[in-house]
Structure 1
């Protein structure tokens, strides 16, 4: 009789602990949101002249493949 009561008590304690562990919410952390910085725009810079052969320093634009002038990025 004593062994049966001991087994019942141990089972109740273990079962209760398992049920409580399953009921607790688990914190899930995702990756932080990306932070974007605005691009640094320097009009009339040497990098634009080096990158675009059609760069016009007077207007700060270059001639795109679409035939339109675009501001230097």
Structure 2
């Protein structure tokens, strides 16, 4: 809205300056044709007034508005080291295959443990025998 207002006021100032000079030109032709002499001080004053008005309005419109954009501060990044690895309870015992401790330890350790065959499905896609060391 403010941009439209500025453009309209500046356009009116230019139009006023231009239109004040046109009658002076037409009057000059009339003088030559009819040989009458009139004082041209009023036409010159109107042209200067239009020029002054345009300069004043242009100066006012070129003033910066009250809002000034300030860049936000750059974010500060903090480096946090890698998260500590999970070190859950580790059991260092040896269980004999096919014992109740062995069944329990293998089913806790491997989700794909098959108690009938005593094997689990490895990441390589093959079945491996469960050994608790």
Q: Same fold (TM over 0.5)?
A: no
Look at both structures and tell me which one has the larger radius of gyration over its CA atoms.
2
Could you say which structure has the higher helix fraction? 2
TM-score, structure 2 length as denominator?
A: 0.24
